[in-house]
Amino acid sequence: MHLRLLGFVLGAVAGFDLAWARLTDPDVFHRMFALRSAMVYLLMGSAVAVAVVGSLLLRRHRAPLTAEVIDWQPARPTRSHIGGSVAFGLGWALSNSCPGPTAAQLGAGRVLAVAIAAGIAAGVALQPVLARRLERARRPDLLPTSTATEVL
């Protein structure tokens, strides 16, 4: 329960920060995508820099709240990473929002955020279904017997 409460508080602080930085305003993202403002690009770049430095400093140490060792193994990008990136980018460009700001918009009572959140939820719900279909399409041996004979 302690971790959930802390997660809720940190989420509320993050939402406040997003709203304070005006990242809940679709016009900010529109200006970013139209290359009329570099603010969001600079903000994301600084966030990545802080995350890289923080990750390197924390690696092989214990997490302060759970005492788990912080470690990871690098992995090469796969086609699913590329597809997910494209889907995320398209959704962001079409809605002028991404999941973090959408949650902050919901908290601020913006009605349009409900539609964006519904789209995000639908994408999350459909992802496993689409992944299974793609895997079956790539590997015919996973098809049920009757379907495999019909395909041949």
Note the pLDDT tens digit of each residue in 90-131. Answer: 887 777 777 878 888 888 888 888 888 888 888 888 888 888
Residue 27: give the domain boundaries.
Answer: 2-151
User: What is the rounded (10 degree) CA torsion for 95, 97, 124, 71?
Assistant: 150
Note the pLDDT tens digit of each residue in 32-91. Answer: 888 999 998 998 899 999 999 988 888 878 877 778 888 888 888 888 888 888 888 888
What is the total count of domains within the chain?
1
CA distance 116 to 124: 12
